[in-house]
Structure 1
Amino acid sequence: MSEETQVPERPATFREVFTEGEFRSVYLAVVLTWAGDYIAKAAITMLVFQQTNSVALSAAAFATSYLPWLLGGPLLTTLADRYPYRTVMVVCDLARMPLFLVLALVDLPVGVLLGLLFVSTLAAAPSQASRSAMVPLILRGDRLVVGLSLFSSSSQASQIGGYVAGSSIALYSPRLALLINAVMFGLSALIIWTGVRHRPPAPRETPNHLLRDTAAGFRLVFGTPTLRAIAILIFSSMLFAIVPEGLAAAWASDLAEKQGDHPELIQALIMASVPTGSVMGALLVGRVIRPARRQALIRPFAVLAPLALVPALLSPSPVIVALLAAVAGFAVTGLIPVTNALFVQALPDGYRARAFGVMNTGMQAIQGTAVLITGVLAERFPLHRVVGLWSVAGVLLMLLLAARWPQPDRFTAAIARAREARPTGTETSATPTGKHPLTGPPGPRPPSSEAGIGAV
C-alpha cells in the first residue's frame, strides 16, 4: 500500500509540513492574498450598505467575489493544466494588483466598483487551480491532509483578521483597505516567483479545445459516483455557513437598533465568528483526531452545519448569533479536509486542476447564490426568520445526503482505480483511448502528468 492510501497511526505534524521550503513560500503568498481580499471584502460590503442602505445591494457586493466562478471559473481553471503552475500564479497576482489600485485611487460609482471587483475575481480561478495542483507535488501522504487543514484554518484566520481590520479601516478610509489588497498581490507574486521552482506543464499528446477539456473535468466529477457524492455534500454544506457572513452588515444594523450597540462592531463580530469556528474545526481534524476516525465524522459534521443556525429563529443577541455562526463554521471546516483528501486521491493524473475548477466553481457559485437569495428574502421578511428557516431546510437536505453517503470501501476502491490509471514507467503514458480512467465507459482520454489537488 502506497503512502497516499495507507492510513498512518498518527497524524503528520505541522513541523513536518513546514520543512518543505516550497510549501512555506506557497503558504505565505496565499495567506497574504487571502488577508488582503478579506480586508477589501469587508470594506466594500460596508461601503455599499452605507451608500445605498440596501440589504440586497450589500449582499450583492459580498456575492460579487463569488459569482465570477460561475461564468469563467471552469474555463479559466483549465488553463492550470496547460501552463506552468508558478507562472499562472504570478501572472494572476500581477493582473489583480492594478485593478485594486484603480479601486483604491479612483472615486467610482457602486456599479463600476462591483464590476472591477468581478473582473479581479476572474483571475482568482486559474491562480487557485494552479496552487491546488502544485501542493500535492510538494506534500505526500498524511502531510497532504495536514497541509490542507493548515490552508483551511489559515484561510479562516485570515478572514478573522481581514474582516475585523476591513470593518475598522472602512470607518476611516475604504480606499486604504483596497490599497492594502493591491500591495498584498504584489508581495504574493514576488514570493511565488522567488520561492517556488519552475515545473513544466502537463505533457499533452494533442492540443484539445479549452471547452472540451473543461467538459472532461465536469464529466469526471459528476460521472464518478464517489466524486459526485463528495461534490454534492460539499456544495450543499456551503449553502448555510456563509449566510451569517453575507448578511452581516444588515444583521448588525438590525441588532444595533434593538440593543443600541455599534453596528460596525457587531458586523465584525458576526463576520469573524464563522472563520473562528472554522479554525478550530480544521485544527481539531488535522491535528487531534486520528486519521482512522476522520471519515466517520463526515456525516455528523454535515448535519451540524445547518442545524447550528436554526436557533436564529428566536432572534438571539449578537453574542449568541456569533456563537451559532462559529459552530456552523466549525462543522463545515471539520469535514472539508477529509473529503478533500479523498477527492484528491481518487483523481487521475492530468485531471486534477480541472476537477478543482469544477469544485471551486460550484462552491463559489453556491455561496454567492445563497447570500443573494437570503438577502433578497430579508428585504421582505425579518432577517432572523430567513436565516432560521433557511437552516431548517438545510437540516432536511443534509440528513438525506448523509443517509446516501458511500461506505469507506467504495472510496478505497475509487482511490485504487485512480492509482492504476496513473502512468507507469514513463511520465508520458496515458490510459487507453476510449476508456474513462475511473469508471471504464467511453470517455475522454486523459493526458498524463504530475497533477495536484483538485478539490476544495
Structure 2
Amino acid sequence: MAVVSLRHNHVYQRLWISHTLSLIGTLASFVSLPLLILDSFHSPAAVGLVSFVGAATLLLVMPWTGLLVDRTGWRAVMVACDLLRATALALLAAAIAGDRVTFALVLAVTVVNSALSVPFLSATGAALRASVEAGQLPAALALNQGRTAVVGILGPVGGAALYDDSTALPFAVDALSFLLSALCVCTLRTRARTPAGKPGFGWRDLGAGWRFLRGHPFLRYMALNICVTDFSFNGLVLVLVVTSSAEGNAMGAGVIMAASGAGNALGSALAVPVMRWARSREPVVLSVWTTAATAAAVAAQAGMPWSALLLGIACLAASIVAVITNTTILRETPAHLLGRVQTIFQTAPRLVAAGGSSCAGVLLTFLPVQVVLPAFAVPLAALALHTTSTRALRAVHE
C-alpha cells in the first residue's frame, strides 16, 4: 500500500492547523496578560503571583493529565480542552470589554488555561502518531517544530499589536482560535481508537511513565539533558535581557527572541537531513558542546550581538536534537503509555525553564552579572562532559 505524503494527508494537515490556531491564540494572550494586569491593578507583584499560579497549576496537574489522555484518547481530550479554554478566554474578553475585570477572574482563567494546556499538548503527540506513518514522523515533527518557532516570534508581536488596538481583542482572538481549533478536530474524517486496557488511577498507574523512562537509557538521558539545558539557557537569557535593559538597549530582548526563533526554524529544516546522514549520538553530543561553548562565551561578556548569534546557533543544534528525541518517543513508547510519557517531556521542561528564569532574577538581586552568568554556564559544561562519556547514547536504536 502506497504511503500518503504529508502534503496529501488531510488528517495530519487538519491537526497541524488545529495546533497552529491554538498556539497563535495562546502566544497572543501570553504577552497581553501581564499588560492587562499592570494596567488594571497597577501591581508588578500581581504579575508575579499570576505567573506563580500558572506554574503551580502545571505542577499539580502534570501527574494526572497524561493518564487522562491514555484513558480517554487524544481526540476527546483535544476538543474538550479547546472548548473549555475558549469559554474561559471569552468570559475574560467580555469582562474586559464591560470594564468588569477582577483579579479573581484573571487568576481563574490562568488556572484553566495552564491546567488544560498540558493534556492538549500530550494529546497532540498521540494524534500525530495516529495520523502519519512511522517513517514520516521526523518530517512531521520537523514541520511542527518549525511552525512553533515562527509562531513563537510572530505571536507575541501580534498580541502586543492587538492589545494596543483594544485591551480585550487579544483575548477574544485567543478564544476564537481555540474554538476554531476544536472545530478542526471535530470535523476530522477519522476515528480515534478508544484505548484498550484503560489504566486506573492508582499510584502505580501514575508512575508508569516514569518507570518506562527509567528503563529506556536514551530517553532517560534526554530528560536530564532537557532539564539542565532549559534551566541554564533560560537563566542566561534573562540575565542578558536584564543587562541590556539596564544599559539602555531596549532592543536586546527582541534581538535574542529573533535569533532564537531563527535558530529553531533553521534547525527544524535541517533535522531530517541530519537524521539521514548521522547517527543519533553525534547530533546530541554536538548540541550539548555547542550549548556549553555558547554559555561560556556569553559568560565571558561576548556582547549582545555576538551573544544573540551564539544563542541562535545553540537553538539550531537543540532543535535538531528535539526532533530526534520526539521521534524516539513516538516510535518506541507503548501506545498505552504515550500520554504519560509525553506529559513528562512537555511539562517538566516548562517548569524547569521557569525555575531558571526565577533563579536568575534572585541571583541578580544579590550578585553581579560577572558572577551570575558563569553560574549558569557551569551546569552546561558538566552536562557536556557527562554526555561525552555516558553509555546511554550508545543504546540508541539506529
TM bracket, shorter-chain basis: 0.7 to 0.9
Calculate the TM-score normalised by the size of structure 1.
0.76
**2:224 counterpart of 1:232:** yes
Task: Say which structure is richer in helix.
Answer: 2
For the structure 1 residues 274 and 61, does the alpha-carbon distance in structure 2 shift closer, same or farther, using more than 3 Å as the test? farther
For the structure 1 residues 173 and 402, does the alpha-carbon distance in structure 2 shift closer, same or farther, using more than 3 Å as the test? farther
Q: Once the 2 structures are TM-superposed, how far is the Cα of residue 313 of structure 1 from its aligned partner?
A: 3.1
Q: Once the 2 structures are TM-superposed, how far is the Cα of residue 332 of structure 1 from its aligned partner?
A: 1.6
Instruction: Please tell me the residue identity of whatever aligns with 2:321.
Output: L
Aligned-CA RMSD value: 3.1
Aligned equivalents of 2:273 and 2:168: distance in 1?
39
For the structure 1 residues 309 and 63, does the alpha-carbon distance in structure 2 shift closer, same or farther, using more than 3 Å as the test? farther
SS of residue matched to 2:207: helix
State whether residues 78 and 353 of structure 1, in contact with CA within 8 Å, keep that contact through their aligned partners in structure 2: yes
Residues 47-58 of structure 1 correspond to what in structure 2 (within 5 A)?
Answer: 51-52=42-43
For the structure 1 residues 67 and 143, does the alpha-carbon distance in structure 2 shift closer, same or farther, using more than 3 Å as the test? farther
Aligned equivalents of 1:227 and 1:342: distance in 2?
8
Unaligned runs of 5+ in 1: 1-11, 416-456
Moved more, 96-105 or 136-145: 96-105
Residues 21-170 of structure 1 correspond to what in structure 2 (within 5 A)?
Answer: 21-45=10-34, 51-52=42-43, 65-106=54-95, 108=101, 113-114=106-107, 116-170=109-163
For the structure 1 residues 158 and 383, does the alpha-carbon distance in structure 2 shift closer, same or farther, using more than 3 Å as the test? farther
- State the partner residue of 1:267: 253
Instruction: Please tell me the residue identity of whatever aligns with 1:95.
Output: L
Q: Once the 2 structures are TM-superposed, how far is the Cα of residue 293 of structure 1 from its aligned partner?
A: 4.0
Q: Deviations over 1:291-310 (max 9, x none)?
A: 54444211110232243233
SS of residue matched to 1:290: helix
SS of residue matched to 1:179: helix
**2:297 counterpart of 1:303:** no
For the structure 1 residues 145 and 62, does the alpha-carbon distance in structure 2 shift closer, same or farther, using more than 3 Å as the test? farther
What percentage of aligned pairs have identical amino acids? 21
Residues 383-402 of structure 1 correspond to what in structure 2 (within 5 A)?
Answer: 386-402=372-388
Aligned equivalents of 1:238 and 1:374: distance in 2?
13
Aligned equivalents of 2:273 and 2:117: distance in 1?
29
Instruction: Please tell me the residue identity of whatever aligns with 1:411.
Output: V
State whether residues 41 and 62 of structure 1, in contact with CA within 8 Å, keep that contact through their aligned partners in structure 2: no
Q: Deviations over 1:361-383 (max 9, x none)?
A: 32222122222222222333345
- State the partner residue of 2:360: 374
Q: Once the 2 structures are TM-superposed, how far is the Cα of residue 36 of structure 1 from its aligned partner?
A: 1.7
State whether residues 70 and 199 of structure 2, in contact with CA within 8 Å, keep that contact through their aligned partners in structure 1: no
- State the partner residue of 2:205: 213
State whether residues 66 and 367 of structure 1, in contact with CA within 8 Å, keep that contact through their aligned partners in structure 2: no
Q: Once the 2 structures are TM-superposed, how far is the Cα of residue 347 of structure 1 from its aligned partner?
A: 1.9
Q: Once the 2 structures are TM-superposed, how far is the Cα of residue 167 of structure 1 from its aligned partner?
A: 3.9
SS of residue matched to 1:79: helix
- State the partner residue of 2:338: 352
Q: Deviations over 1:85-141 (max 9, x none)?
A: 211101100111122223334354667635532331111121111111121122223
Aligned equivalents of 2:36 and 2:243: distance in 1?
17
Unaligned runs of 5+ in 2: none
- State the partner residue of 1:281: 267
For the structure 1 residues 156 and 132, does the alpha-carbon distance in structure 2 shift closer, same or farther, using more than 3 Å as the test? same
Aligned equivalents of 2:240 and 2:49: distance in 1?
15
For the structure 1 residues 298 and 194, does the alpha-carbon distance in structure 2 shift closer, same or farther, using more than 3 Å as the test? same
**2:396 counterpart of 1:411:** yes
For the structure 1 residues 332 and 405, does the alpha-carbon distance in structure 2 shift closer, same or farther, using more than 3 Å as the test? farther
Q: Once the 2 structures are TM-superposed, how far is the Cα of residue 287 of structure 1 from its aligned partner?
A: 4.0
Q: Once the 2 structures are TM-superposed, how far is the Cα of residue 143 of structure 1 from its aligned partner?
A: 0.8
Aligned equivalents of 1:275 and 1:198: distance in 2?
35
Aligned equivalents of 2:193 and 2:389: distance in 1?
43
- State the partner residue of 1:439: none
Q: Deviations over 1:398-418 (max 9, x none)?
A: 32234214244x233xx9xxx
Instruction: Please tell me the residue identity of whatever aligns with 1:202.
Output: P
Aligned equivalents of 1:251 and 1:184: distance in 2?
33
